[in-house]
Amino acid sequence: MPAMALPEAPTLPAAQARALTQDDALRVSQSAVGQAVGDYTLRDGEGRPVRLSSLRGKPVLVSFIYTGCFSVCPTTTVTLKRAVESAMRALGPEAFTVVSIGFNVPFDTPAAMRAFASQQGVYFPNWLFLSPDLPTVEGLARDLGFSYTASTGGFDHITQVSVLDQEGRVYRQVYGDRFPLPQLVGPLRELLTGAPPAEESLASFIERVRLLCTEYDPVTGQYRYKYSILFEIVGGVIGLSAMLIFLLVELRKTRRVKAIQPR
């Protein structure tokens, strides 16, 4: 069940508020799964334009926050930070992109988003904190199934991280301000290992082996290499190589026998 943010600083008059139920928010969120996200242009922490289409080609994690929140949004971002750190160790630091979007227009400015990122200790090059205009917020909320409404404490909103595939479609929704790491890393792994490229290089093959050879350790809360799988792969390669060598030796013997037989 999704968590509801109850921020401390009011942003809009209570008269503008409307009821937001968890069941409705979850239904709207799940209805977005499989849908494509539009190509919107937002601004990064330096005020530079960023088109969402420029992020395609890799999975993207999208989280909505607002900088006037002093409870749930920081907690969600810190949880997401831990998940991102774990995912980068397991999948590679450049395997995916993270986007935090400030939905409280016009207050979530590039400067405010940059300050929020600094307060949470987020300095990853693959993590963008973006500021949209109002039409873009409305479009993104619709495309990603994000529900929010003004309340006496600021905003009530569903707490979710949307996992987008390499084509910009919603692949999975992850809920809550404190979620188990596999709920986020699992979908990323699925997207990154789901289908081999048309021409797979040695480097990409090694990367896919590395992705498959990690597992989640619930004791440490981290991803680690699963060496048993690696040994199985190495053993299989050695066995296949031995078989090929045996076949080549037998083929040479056969050719030599034929060569010395009288005609």
Strand partners, 163: 61, 172
Smallest Cα–Cα separation from 215: which of 229, 228, 206, 225?
225
In this predicted structure, what is the pLDDT of residue 70?
Answer: 86
In this predicted structure, what is the pLDDT of residue 260?
Answer: 62
Residue that has been written with the tokens 């969402």 in this structure: 52
Spatial separation of the C-alpha atoms in residues 37 and 46, rounded to whole Å: 24
**Strands, DSSP E only, in 35-116?**
41-43, 49-51, 60-65, 97-102
DSSP secondary structure letter of residue 177: S
- Quote the pTM value: 0.70
List, in order, residues 6 or more apart from 62 with CB less than 8 Å away: 37, 99, 101, 144, 161, 162, 164
In this predicted structure, what is the pLDDT of residue 255?
Answer: 65
Tell me the pLDDT of the chain (263 aa) as tens digits: 344 443 333 333 333 335 678 889 999 999 999 999 999 999 999 999 999 999 999 999 999 999 999 888 999 999 999 999 999 998 999 999 999 999 999 999 999 999 999 999 999 999 999 999 999 999 999 999 999 998 877 888 999 999 999 999 999 999 988 888 889 999 999 999 885 443 434 443 444 444 444 444 444 444 444 545 445 555 556 767 667 776 776 677 666 655 566 55
